[in-house]
Structure 1
Amino acid sequence: MPPTGDPLANRYRRLLLCYPRKWRRLRGEEMVAVLLASATPGRTRPTPRETVNLLRHGLRSRLGRPASYSVVACAVLTAVICGLFSAALASWVAWQTARPLPDRAETTALVAEVLPGYDAKEVDAPTALFTYYSQPLRLENLDSLLLGDGGEYQQGAVVAVVTAVPPASQQETLALAQRRLRETGWRVYPPYVVPGPTCTGISCDPAARDTTIFARRGDTGLDLRLPARPSVDSTPVTVALRRATPPAVLPAGVLGGLIGAVAGWLVFGWASRRTERPHFAADAVTVLHTITLLLWWSPAVLAAPQLLQHHRDEPHPVWHPLWEWLGQPALSLFFVVGAGCALCGLALATLPRRDPGPLTTTATG
């Protein structure tokens, strides 16, 4: 469909790009002529109704199988999960724009600012924003990450062990930290009290609970953990610093998600049209696609409600990244096996059919 000088005709042709190429080659000019004949004189743009109809029927025609209702649901599920995976990948790339984690000197200065009179005795400062077993992810760790041990891939944090001599009570440290955080420009969240007793033995006091303060200033999130009974020999006070989500993550995730969803729909539609009966592998491709959807969606269905409850239970100045909401890479084995099934199905779809079959037509109404 070569362009012409008529702007309305050219806009109709652009909308018809949502139809398969074979359909456009055989019916495209005929459809444009019908649309132009029904248009009011002087109009230069398609009406909203025409636009919606052309997009809806064009995308549906890409799926083939006009007698099937389930193919649309499968296409939607495929497009959504592909969009989510693409958004997670794009957001991971955008996370690399975050500033490096605070070094030991910056962490020590921050502890002195927030908790005057306390000393940062030990400072563990990772060299990466995301770490695998507290170390930067390396290629030699990739197989372990993808094959069952991905839960250890987490956002890195600088952790400082803070002490005071003599040890102060939990309430004294809590009051001091909250006051100093507010005075130095931090947004302070309500304290989070760890549920359940934190001690054992005859002298255990069930009322004693560890408490955590969450705060954020700029692109830095702070977690201050206060043990129930501070002492020289007990669990020490710890300060953890991590970077907040960079501004580039949201637009990158949205753009990546849209691209992935469109690509997922188009690839699914291509495979669906290619394997319409009497294709000899139609049943095999259907089974492989069903397995793929189950393996890709199951981690997200399991992880998202748990993370949502986790976020509701305690404050989160820094939200968990998108891929963790999809159960990745903790359950990446599901993704790997599902990807293998998807590739097998696409490989079968490339094989020639016994009969090319008639062209599927779809009216625009």
Structure 2
Amino acid sequence: MPAGSEGFAVAASTGPTMPGRPVVTGLERRYRRLLLAYPAAYRRRHGDELITTLLDAAGTDRVRPGRRDTVDLLRGGLRQRFRLPVGKAPVAVAVFAAFVFGALGAGTGSFLGWCTTPPLRVDQSAAQIAGLAIGEPYVGGFSRDDRWQLRAVKVEAVDPRYIAGWTSTSAAARFTAAGWTVEPTGPSAFTANRGTLRTWVTGPLPAAENPAGVVMWPDPSAAPVSVVIWPAEPAAVTAGVVTGWLAGAVAGWLLVAWVAYQLRGDRSWARRGTVAILAAVAVLVLFRPVLWTYLLIVTGAVLSPDRWGPPSPVYVGFIDSDAVAVPLFGLAAVAAACLTAARARPTPSHDPEDLVHS
């Protein structure tokens, strides 16, 4: 043993050692922490071998892992966690799971982003906005679309009235004079923006000349004035959707990789069949909310739906008030499949790629 190595081993140990037990140095403990980047099964099969190789290469004068060793271990651990069994089916399932859980993560990020803005309330300002729209004091009530999370997606005047001589041009001029930014969206509609509020105003169409005397029912020139108010989308929503989607996609891929390796080599066909059935049920149940979530993402990113009224937040794809139990049932099926897979007893892998760790 080289001179000075005894002193290093004693200094690096955490306390007294038992006779016959090897001294655990601080360097070894740090290496073992880095090995947590690898899956547990991989650590059981190759952890001691890796630690021995790393300690032999480190020498006796090193107390912390080098930068190169740290990067190699973390990179190798992530590669092992993201690896899938050989074949096209695991890759297809992992990609699908990434899209499903990505949608769920995007919805969660959208909801958390909306939580950064104060809830929309019906107060005196709502009545003032409605008064600007109709051109006289508004004394009616408002309806709230609260969904299940008690955060109003929109507030709408429930007592619209036909205002003789009303035009969108005059209404837009009143909003502009009050400090709103107005954007026309049709011959008798416009969107007004100010601060954290958006307002959509629609009213009767201008009376058109009708020399043929054709009677139109209902008469579009006698329509009431409609006022809808909703909060402006905070900047945190976009960041939440992107971050949530990435986190969900990664989680979905890792979940499929874990289940696939759990079931690989397991001799219980009943267990495998149960996992497959539960996964199919989850796919069927989650198909609608996943599709709806991606449609909301694309619509919000491409079409600017607030030109025609309040857009639906991305999170309503999964937690809509009319079907909040549906995604919960699908996620319950996923959880049941994972619990079933956790009981599998996979055979030890002899894949040569398992030996690659850097």
TM range (shorter): 0.5 to 0.7
> Which AA in structure 2 matches 1:242?
W
Q: Secondary structure at the match of 1:227?
A: coil
Q: Secondary structure at the match of 1:191?
A: strand
Asked whether 1:357 is paired with 2:348, we answer: yes
Q: Which residue of 2 aligns with 1:123?
A: 141
Greater C-alpha radius of gyration: 2
Given that 1:161 and 1:239 are in contact with CA atoms closer than 8 Å, whether structure 2 keeps it comes out as no
Q: Which residue of 2 aligns with 1:25?
A: 44
Q: Which residue of 2 aligns with 1:212?
A: 189
TM-score, normalisation: structure 2: 0.67
> Which AA in structure 2 matches 1:239?
V
> Which AA in structure 2 matches 1:344?
A
Give the 3 Å change call, closer, same or farther, for CA 184–34 of structure 1 in structure 2. farther
Percent of residue pairs bearing the same amino acid type: 23
Offset of residue 110 of structure 1: 2.7
Offset of residue 214 of structure 1: 1.5
Partners of 1:79 and 1:18 in 2: CA distance: 21
Q: Which residue of 1 aligns with 2:213?
A: none
Q: Which residue of 1 aligns with 2:229?
A: 241
> Which AA in structure 2 matches 1:323?
Y
Q: Which residue of 2 aligns with 1:276?
A: 264
Give the 3 Å change call, closer, same or farther, for CA 6–76 of structure 1 in structure 2. farther
TM-score, normalisation: structure 1: 0.66
Partners of 1:36 and 1:192 in 2: CA distance: 73
Q: Which residue of 1 aligns with 2:157?
A: 159
Aligned residues: 315
Partners of 1:168 and 1:68 in 2: CA distance: 70
Offset of residue 20 of structure 1: 0.9
Partners of 2:202 and 2:93 in 1: CA distance: 46
Q: Which residue of 2 aligns with 1:223?
A: 200
Partners of 2:266 and 2:237 in 1: CA distance: 45
1:69-127 CA-partner distances (Å, limit 9, x unpaired):
32133223324422431342343244344323243422222334x3484231412153x
1:203-247 CA-partner distances (Å, limit 9, x unpaired):
xxxxxxxx431222121110101122699x943102111122344
Partners of 1:326 and 1:217 in 2: CA distance: 30
Asked whether 1:111 is paired with 2:130, we answer: yes
Q: Which residue of 1 aligns with 2:285?
A: 295
Which one of 312, 318, 326 corresponds to residue 303 of structure 2? 312
Q: Secondary structure at the match of 2:67?
A: coil
Instruction: Flag structure 2 segments of 5+ consecutive residues without an equivalent.
Output: 1-13, 15-23, 208-218
Give the 3 Å change call, closer, same or farther, for CA 314–131 of structure 1 in structure 2. closer
Q: Secondary structure at the match of 2:315?
A: helix
Partners of 1:362 and 1:228 in 2: CA distance: 74
Q: Which structure features the higher share of helix residues? A: 2
Partners of 2:86 and 2:107 in 1: CA distance: 35
Partners of 1:318 and 1:36 in 2: CA distance: 62
1:313-344 CA-partner distances (Å, limit 9, x unpaired):
85447542112456856565653443343233
Partners of 2:243 and 2:299 in 1: CA distance: 27
Partners of 1:246 and 1:239 in 2: CA distance: 22
1:9-56 CA-partner distances (Å, limit 9, x unpaired):
95x7666433211212332354466678899x9994239994785255
Give the 3 Å change call, closer, same or farther, for CA 19–105 of structure 1 in structure 2. same
